Amino acid sequence: MAAYFLLPTPAPMQEGLRPYIIYRQLPDGCLPFELSDDSCEPLMHRGECLVIDVRDREPAEGELFLIQWFGGRQEVIEPVLRENRGRSNWYVWSHNRPRSADETCAWLEQGRAHALPDGPYAADAPPESHLRQKIIGKVIGILEMDFRPMLRIGQPESELRP
């Protein structure tokens, strides 16, 4: 006698979201970054530890990057390329932001805070340009939820790997 199982129908992919790899350990050439806010919702959540590839510092649309502002604060941003007066310029935003004028109005009516973009940064600027100086690396994934014992938070970077 054959047994049949009904599997649940998977939820459809949400438009505009991309999958990220869940890592069991920190890959070579990468740093951990614990997300302390909701700036990456719905992709990533407060308290998750992101995997940052410090070898990839070239801005790209649709990707998330860790930057360090000149005051020292670090933040995950999404670069957006826009044409402005015949020149291509990068603007950096939080991933969790209104995407249209209607959505901006709705956020304001709900009392939700959102930041304006930072920029413009010239897209054709050399590698040592202002924006590229701020980029620490590209977000490539998330460390699995039990990352804290693996990382031994507070240890020097050279001792982060198990």
Q: What angle do CA 91, 39, 101 make, to 5 degrees?
A: 60
pLDDT computed for residue 73 by the predictor: 85
Q: What is the pLDDT of residues 75-121, one digit of tens each?
A: 888 888 888 788 888 888 777 666 677 877 876 787 766 666 777 88
pTM, entire model: 0.71
CATH placement of domain 21-146? 2.10.109.10
Q: Looking at the predicted structure, is the pLDDT value of residue 151 above 80?
A: no
Coil/strand/helix, residue 144: coil
Q: What is the pLDDT of residues 27-79, one digit of tens each?
A: 999 999 998 877 777 777 888 899 999 999 999 988 999 999 888 889 888 88
